Amino acid sequence: MASSCFKVLSSSPWIGHRSFAANPSASSPPPRVSFAIRAGAYSDELVQTAKSIASPGRGILAIDESNATCGKRLASIGLDNTEENRQAYRQLLLTTPGLGDYISGSILFEETLYQSTKDGKKFVDCLRDANIVPGIKVDKGLSPLPGSNQESWCQGLDGLASRSAEYYKQGARFAKWRTVVSVPCGPSALAVKEAAWGLARYAAISQDNGLVPIVEPEILLDGDHPIERTLEVAEKVWSEVFFYLAHNNVMFEGILLKPSMVTPGAEHKNKASPETVAEFTLTMLKRRVPPAVPGIMFLSGGQSEAEATLNLNAMNQSPNPWHVSFSYARALQNSVLRTWQGKPEKIEASQKALLVRAKANSLAQLGKYSAEGENEDAKKGMFVKGYTY
**Residues with a known catalytic role:** 216, 258
Separation of alpha carbons 162 and 177, rounded Å = 16
CA 336-339-340 angle, to 5 degrees, is: 80
Q: What is the DSSP string of 287-322?
A: HH--TT--EEEE--TT--HHHHHHHHHHHTSS--SS
Q: What is the DSSP string of 107-132?
A: EE-HHHHT-B-TTS-BHHHHHHHTT-
Separation of alpha carbons 296 and 262, rounded Å = 13
CA 317-323-326 angle, to 5 degrees, is: 85
Judge whether 182 and 143 are in contact, CB under 8 Å: no
Which residues 6+ apart lie within 8 Å of 284 measured at CB? 231, 234, 235, 238, 259, 262
Judge whether 174 and 105 are in contact, CB under 8 Å: yes
DSSP character for 38?
A: P
Judge whether 258 and 216 are in contact, CB under 8 Å: yes
